[in-house]
Amino acid sequence: MAPRLMSICSVARMTKSTNSSTGEEELDVSMINYASREINCKIVYYGPGLGGKTTNLEHVYGKVKPETRGKLISLATETERTLFFDFLPVDLGTIRGFKTRFHLYTVPGQVYYNASRKLILKNVDGIVFVGDSQAERMEANLESMQNLYDNMTEYGYDLTQMPFVIQYNKRDLANASPIEDLQAALNPGWEVEDASKHRVQPDPYHAGQNLVEQLPGGEWVERAPYFEAIAVNGDGVFDTLKAVSKLVLKALA
Ligand SMILES: Nc1nc2c(ncn2[C@@H]2O[C@H](COP(=O)(O)OP(=O)(O)OP(=O)(O)O)[C@@H](O)[C@H]2O)c(=O)[nH]1
Ligand SMILES: [Mg+2]
């Protein structure tokens, strides 16, 4: 199957909100394919080089039933670094009779491949940021998160309005930073401007923590859901994927 950089969900959303008399945005790509009863969505795994993005996809590929996935396409260097992207289509169940097919992409984390990273983000429906927990990779994590914001902004996308989850990978390593430090650096929260949304929202994945909360200073913030992972063993890989795919389907509804 040829890799596609088009997002099916986003055009579905566009089509829904478009005046059908113009038909302009409907394109010839059927994002919700009524004939085959499929919804297709694009999820991009972003993050610093060697953080474990490709490993996430390899684990998904290895675990899902062969009939529910396509080929894992990897364009890599001889040393297994992602050169352009990895691509894996997987079916993650059915909603209202429609098969939900997720097109998983990774970007190349190495700093100098920004043109590829940006291209791969086009028409994204959901993002997983794979951070490297190792203390010495904190700077690389921050740089990659900033680069994600910058590239999104160039497309006019707003990360705070997008299905977005963070994965702290390599939790098995002795030099892994505490989660609180990673959260403070990479997921400090963004301001909740809409007063009607100033309500505490418990984090369903971490008892006692909140996704939306009021800080001691009075400001309301929302954080992205986060997951700890050891992608080489598969720990946390499906929790992350399930969370982002749920958010994507919610955004479609
Ligand atoms: N110890 C440990 N190693 C990991 C983990 N996840 C991935 N790795 C290793 O880290 C290295 C890099 O993993 P990749 O998945 O290739 O990283 P990437 O984010 O795709 O890197 P780029 O393609 O360069 O952006 C590989 O040797 C993996 O086996 C983990 O949870 N723990
Ligand atoms: Mg890679």
Structural domain boundaries in the chain:
33-176+225-252, 188-223
Return the ligand number nearest the Cα of 108: 1
Name the nearest CA neighbour of 147 among 182, 190, 112, 177: 112
Query: How far is the centre of ligand 2, averaged over its atoms, from the C-alpha of 224 (Å)?
Result: 23
Q: Which CATH superfamily is domain 33-176+225-252 in?
A: P-loop containing nucleotide triphosphate hydrolases (3.40.50.300)
Whole-structure pTM value: 0.89
pLDDT tens digits for 29-80? 337 788 888 899 999 999 999 999 999 999 999 999 999 999 999 988 888 8
Please name the residue whose Cα sits nearest to atom 2 of ligand 1: 170
Query: What is the average per-residue pLDDT within 200-216?
Result: 97
Token pair listed for 86: 């990895």
Atom of ligand 1 lying closest to residue 80 CA: 16
Q: Ligand 2 centroid vs 35 CA: distance in angstroms? A: 34
Within its chain, how far is the Cα of 62 from the centroid?
A: 20
Task: Indicate whether residue 116 lines ligand 1 (CB < 6 A).
Answer: no
- Whether 107 and 147 have beta carbons less than 8 Å apart is answered as no
